[in-house]
Amino acid sequence: ELSVYDAIESAKIVKDCGVDVLLLSNPYGGNTRLSGVIDFFKKVDDAVDMPMIIYNFPGRTGYNVNPDIVGALLDAVPNICGIKECAERYEQTMELIGRFGDRMAVLSGNEFLGPWELLCGADGAVVATGNVMIKEIVKLYNIAKTGDIAKTSEYGLSLFPLMRTLFKSPNPGPSKYGMILRGFDAGKPTTPCVECEEPVKAEVAAEMKKLGII
């Protein structure tokens, strides 16, 4: 089981490689509480001393870093500069923007909610489908940041079929395949992640062709 010491070792390696910001998930794989979450981030911060973004993905970790916990982390860990919010709770993202938008960047981690969160003040988005539809996601971001609801809806809906297809098999299988179709040497997913099935590959290719990506 990975520990905080594994996280620290990995963080030191990427810092030495020139990485500017850590994307750090809350502890997972075991029971914890607020003091444990704060201690985890503080130990990494004390050992590495570089900007950190909270990666809140309760669907994977089993623990939701809710806004009250985020507030406690901001008070306790000076290097926290943002959050990638993947709780799939629109109201939670809105609360983060309202309470802490002046203290950190609030980034959407969900392409299906991202455009609407951007319209309501999110600073940006970190989404898996951006690895495949690079220019398209940037264009969607730029439209949303103008505040034009109609254009955001129209363009966002045009990208929806490919977004949906890229999650028909567990991520990152479909995204890696899409990257390969674009000419990137993305390789195969590392165990326990798996390649997507042949029918999904065919759908990914078809939707990419419709958008003119390949």
The strand ranges marked E within 14-87 are 22-25, 52-56, 80-85
User: Distance (Å, rounded) from C-alpha 54 to C-alpha 32?
Assistant: 16
Closest CA to 160 of 112, 88, 213: 112
Q: Residue 205 — φ and ψ, nearest 5°?
A: -60, -45
Element (H, E) at 106: strand 105-108
Among the options 63, 84, 176, 201, which is catalytic?
A: 84
176 as an active site residue: the answer is no
Among the options 5, 28, 43, 55, which is catalytic?
A: 55
Parallel, antiparallel, or unpaired for β 105-108 and 80-85?
A: parallel
CA distances from 9 to 43, 84, 125, 187 (A): 12, 22, 27, 25
User: Distance (Å, rounded) from C-alpha 124 to C-alpha 83?
Assistant: 10
84 as an active site residue: the answer is yes
The CA-based dihedral angle spanning residues 27, 92, 114, 174, taken in that order and rounded to the nearest 10 degrees? 40
Give catalytic residue positions.
Answer: 55, 84
